[in-house]
Amino acid sequence: MIDVRLLRTDPEGVRAALARRNKPELLEQLAEAISLEAGARELQSQRDALRAEINDLSKQVGLKRRDGDAAGAEALQAQSRELGDRERDLAAKADELAGGLRELLLRIPNLPHADAPDGQDDHDNPVVVGPNNMPAEFPEHQRVPHWETANALGILDNERATKISGAMFTMQRGAGATLARALCQYALDMNADAFEEIRPPSLVTTATLTATGQLPKFADDAYAIERDDLWAIPTAEVPLTSIYAGEVLDEAELPKRMMAHTSCYRREAGSAGRDTRGMLRAHEFDKVEILAVTTPEQGPAMLQEIVDRAERLINGLGLPYRIIEICTGDMGQSHHRSFDIEVYAPGCDNWLEVSSCSWFSDYQARRGDIRFKKAGEKGTTIANTLNGSALAVPRVWAAIMENYRQADGSVVVPGALRPYMRGIEVIRAS
């Protein structure tokens, strides 16, 4: 969440930053938050004044008793009890306002970075790199949707996946399953030089999902196991971020670099037609995530590194790609600055987002209470968090099916993946 102190010290700056998101309701929420913060602060001030008065009366009671003035002491005690009742009433009201303020701040998004491009929606996201690896034209045999190619090769069986689990679940078979696993191992190996591999739990607590910004605002998009108050993770970003929740790190330890291959679970709504066919949208999918915990000063360089690493993966597969920067009107809840990598799928005739690389400033770390201590200084500082999709399987898998399709319907395996394919260089119908 944003720093509550900014509501008091720089309300106009916060208002101007949130206005760049082009959602008028946010300014209404901000006005309410500023009012709640001022009200809670005023009640706290009144409560502190009463506490000081009560403490002074206690001292006077002691003096009265020492001087043998029992009646005077009793009168002062009665006055103190009355003030105590008022103090408890003020404390309850202050806590109520503070609780309302926290609930509101959990829903107010992060402030965009000054360099993030302004815009209304995804149509205003500028292309900052590419397109790269884009041929002059695509032959007709690559203009076939991946689901048709994969079904013909016998490596995608969504019909039986739906029988097992319901709509919008996918199932790869044979070389298709091997290709999905190869993509994840490729991403892990390419980042193992600097990122610690972790296999976190796939089920997390409400507090964990709240720390990254999914709750409370996006509860309807998540899978809940209500009996145990657990949630299926929508991305490994969620458990990785909370590994250091509630901890104070030494500045010398930062940045912390982590990566994880997990299944991810999302209530993808999709839209009727091609959007929900094949591998484009699914309730469950595999992904490799890279994540860093940094100081604020390390944030910009780490963001660039994460983008570079994600780009290196896609470029290494030889896929046509471009990088866009997310404008203020299209930013996610927790994002401070964000870049997406998109690959072109000729069969779908569409650019597909395959990686999102984001800097959250101190927004998530404040929710998760992740701090660090500078050597020789008193107090602690809220850390920064960043993450990137090192490689999300479904759309990269789909793009390979379309970009590497041959005239005979077979699919060539990109060279970078062949070490993980058990000798398969071309996927053919069995």
The string of pLDDT tens digits covering residues 139-155 is 999 999 999 999 999 99
**Per-residue pLDDT at 181:** 98
> In Å, how far from its chain's centre is CA 394?
19
Please choose, from the candidates 197, 198, 263, 211, the residue with its C-alpha nearest in 3D space to the C-alpha of residue 242.
211
> Of 114-128, 255-269, 387-401, which gets the smallest average pLDDT?
255-269
Q: Retrieve residue 324's tokens.
A: 């866009």
Say whether pTM exceeds 0.75. yes
In CATH, what class is 122-427? alpha beta
Q: DSSP character for 28?
A: H
Is 356:375 a contact under the CB 8 Å cutoff? no
Answer CATH for 5-105 from 3.40.50.300, 3.30.390.50, 1.10.287.40, 3.20.20.60? 1.10.287.40
Give a three-class secondary structure readout of 241-281: HHHHCCCEEEHHHCCEEEEEEEEEECCCCCCCCHHHCCCCC
DSSP-assigned states of every residue in 327-349: PGGG--TT-SEEEEEEEEETTTT
Same fold, 5-105 and 122-427: no
Q: What is the pLDDT of residues 30-43, one digit of tens each?
A: 999 999 999 999 99
Please choose, from the candidates 149, 150, 145, 169, the residue with its C-alpha nearest in 3D space to the C-alpha of residue 158.
169
Cα-flanking dihedrals φ and ψ of residue 356, to 5°?
-125, 125
**Per-residue pLDDT at 333:** 94
Please choose, from the candidates 234, 219, 346, the residue with its C-alpha nearest in 3D space to the C-alpha of residue 282.
234
The mean pLDDT of the chain is 94
pLDDT, mean of residues 47-61: 89
Q: Using omega within 30 degrees of 0 as the cis cutoff, is the peptide bond preceding 255 cis?
A: yes
**Per-residue pLDDT at 268:** 67
Q: Structural domain boundaries of the chain?
A: 5-105, 122-427
